[in-house]
Amino acid sequence: MKKIIIIAIFFVASSVHAVESRFGVGFINSALGLPPGVNSCTSCIDLGSLDFSYLIEYDSGLAAEVGITYGVMEDDYAEDPTDRVNFKIKTGYYLRGIYNFNKTFFINATWLDTEIGGEGLGANNQLVTNYVREGNLGYGIGANIALPNSEAAVRISYEIFDFAPGIDIDQISIKYLF
Report domain 2-177's class: mainly beta
From the CB of residue 151, how many other CB atoms can be counted at a distance below 10 Å? 10
124 versus 89: which is more confidently predicted? 89
Domain spans, the chain: 2-177
Asked if residue 7 has pLDDT above 60, the reply is yes
Tell me how far apart the alpha carbons of residues 86 and 63 are, in angstroms, rounded to a whole number: 37
Tell me how far apart the alpha carbons of residues 32 and 156 are, in angstroms, rounded to a whole number: 19
C-alpha distances (whole Å) from 78 to each of 26, 89, 141 are 29, 18, 32
pLDDT at residue 84 in the model: 77
Q: For the CA atoms of the chain, what is the radius of gyration?
A: 18
Which of 31-35, 67-71, 87-91, 108-112 has the least mean pLDDT? 31-35
Tell me how far apart the alpha carbons of residues 166 and 43 are, in angstroms, rounded to a whole number: 12
Q: Tell me the pLDDT tens digit for each residue of 57-107.
A: 988 889 999 999 999 998 887 766 667 788 899 999 999 999 999 999 999
Tell me how far apart the alpha carbons of residues 125 and 150 are, in angstroms, rounded to a whole number: 56
At residue 43 the predicted structure's pLDDT band, cuts being 50, 70 and 90, is low
